[in-house]
Amino acid sequence: MFEAIAFYLFAFLTISMFYITVTTNQALYALTALAAGMIFISVFFFILGADFLGAIQIIVYTGAVMALYAFGMMFFDTTRDVKEKQGNKFIIVGLSALSAVLVVLIFVAPIVSDNITALYPMTEGAGNTQEVGMVLFTKYLIPFEVAAVMLLVAMIAGIVLAGKKMDLSLTLMNDAQIRHIDEEKNKKVIS
């Protein structure tokens, strides 16, 4: 009974949070609703007994949305409404309803026709974390490693792009040195 109550409560909450994210034109509301929705999703993992994935969902998405906040802080005055082109509101509702129905159909179709079988059944005595580890390092080893390499490449690219003048620190220099750097820049602009 509690599972049913928790499921319907958090299903309602998650959907309303993401609805706010899409429809509001206040950047802070959108970001906060996105973070809340992402954290509410973890409840479904907990209900299904996948505690590890639930906790990972919380940890990963708090960090990820925190980075979005940083961008929001840089690009918007987050206390004011963003003026956006108002299209037809029914298009948003129609499209999201349509895609939701499609997603449900895609996932329900194999269940209805009984075509789903568990290839890697639960191992007796192994905890949640061990189960995830076993599947990751046997069946999904190659996708897992490829994803790791891609992330490494992205990280190195990020460091190379952002790493220019990393050894200079404005807080450690005195005023004369900073003025000197400014003059150097201005010279280049003039010439």
Partner 1 sequence: MEAYLIETVIKVVVVLLIFSALAGIGTYFERKVLAFMQRRLGPMYVGPYGLLQVAADGVKLFTKEDIIPTGVVAKIFKIAPVITAATAFMAAAAIPFLPQFEIFGYTVHPIIADVNIGILYVLGVMAIGLYGPLLGGMASANKYSLISAARSAAVFISYEVVTGLSILAPIMMVGSLSLVDFNNYQVENGWIVWSQPVAFILFWIAAFAETGRTPFHLIANDHEIIDGFGTEYSGMRWGLFFIGEYANMFFISFVIPLLFLGGFGDGSVMGALALLGKVAFFFFFFLWTRAAWPDVRPDQLMWLCWKVLMPIAVINVVITGIVMM
Interface positions with partner 1 (CB under 8 A): 26, 28-29, 32, 35, 39, 51-52, 54-56, 58-59, 62-63, 66-67, 69-70, 72-73, 78-79, 127-129, 169, 171
Strands, E assignment, the chain: none
Q: How far is the CB of 155 from partner 1 (least distance, A)?
A: 12
- Choose between 129 and 186: whose C-beta lies nearer to partner 1: 129
Least gap, CB of 79 to partner 1 (angstroms)? 4
CA distances from 35 to 17, 30, 79 (A): 9, 9, 18
Q: Name which of 49 and 94 has its Cβ closer to partner 1.
A: 49
CA distance 87 to 66: 29
Residue placing its CB nearer to partner 1 in the complex, 78 or 96: 78
Strand, coil or helix: what is 140? coil
Q: Of 92, 74, 114, 70, whose CA–CA distance to 25 is shortest?
A: 92
H helix intervals, 24-165 = 27-47, 51-75, 89-112, 128-137, 141-162
Cβ proximity of 26 and 81 under 8 Å: yes
User: What distance in Å separates the CA atoms of residue 109 and residue 149, rounded to the nearest whole number?
Assistant: 34
CA 19 – CA 80 distance, rounded (Å): 20
From residue 93, alpha-carbon distances to 22, 33, 175 in Å are 10, 18, 56
Q: How far is the CB of 60 from partner 1 (least distance, A)?
A: 9
Q: Which is nearer to partner 1, 11 or 28 (CB)?
A: 28
Q: Residue 16 or residue 32: which is nearer to partner 1 going by CB? A: 32
Q: Shortest Cβ distance from residue 78 to partner 1 (Å)?
A: 5
Which of 62/99 has CB closer to partner 1? 62
**Minimum distance of partner 1 from residue 56's CB (angstroms):** 7
Q: How far is the CB of 80 from partner 1 (least distance, A)?
A: 9
